[in-house]
Amino acid sequence: MVCLESPSIWPQLQIVNLASNYFESELTAPMILKWTSMMASTTKVQTDSSYLQSNVSFTYYQNFVTINFKGLSYALQYILITFTSIDFSNNAFHGELPRELGNLNALVVLNLSHNSFWGHIPLSFRNLSQVESLDLSCKALTGKIPGELGNLNFLSYLNLSFNKLTGMIPTST
């Protein structure tokens, strides 16, 4: 069992990669609502003058990391400071997908594949306005695929395979 609710470090995290660790836990609303760096609106980023500094290497980028998204593994040497990612794939997380995940509107990558989540895809996922890669494959998800996923303008990778979902794959406007 992993404790993901520490109040001191989680608000600043932008990249959370716990993939392939056999962690067993539920994702809870109190934990998700602490990840405030993944909730930043795009307007805040664009109007914050401290974001527009002259020294590009220290202002816009952070250190090296390897992440998995869009079905591939990527080694990112420079990470844009607005890049946010959650990869909990290949673990034993369980329970229903919390609707509070939809509050993470600055999230670019969400990979919850190969866990033991069940239930419906929350309608709040329509709020993931910056998400480019959404992987909810290999679970026990049921119900209709929310058509609102088609309104996610940046979504370029959607994997819902190996679930018990019904309906059409949403198309983008």
In a domain, 4, yes or no: no
In a domain, 113, yes or no: yes
| 46-65 confidence digits (pLDDT tens) | 334 343 343 444 455 556 66
In a domain, 2, yes or no: no
| 110-135 confidence digits (pLDDT tens) | 999 999 999 999 999 999 999 999 99
In a domain, 85, yes or no: yes
In a domain, 57, yes or no: yes
The CATH number of residue 34's host domain is: 3.80.10.10
Domain count, the chain: 1
Helix/strand/coil for 85: strand
Any idea which residue has 């760096």 for tokens?
A: 37
Cβ neighbors of 154 (< 8 A, separation 6 or more) are 108, 129, 130, 131, 132
| 78-105 confidence digits (pLDDT tens) | 667 678 899 999 999 999 999 999 999 9
In a domain, 56, yes or no: yes
**CA nearest neighbour of 148 among 115, 116, 173:** 173
In a domain, 172, yes or no: no
> CA 24 → CA 2, 4, 110, 135, 149, distances in Å?
7, 11, 18, 19, 28
Give the chain's length. 173
pLDDT at residue 169 above 80? Answer: yes
**84 lies in which domain range?**
10-166
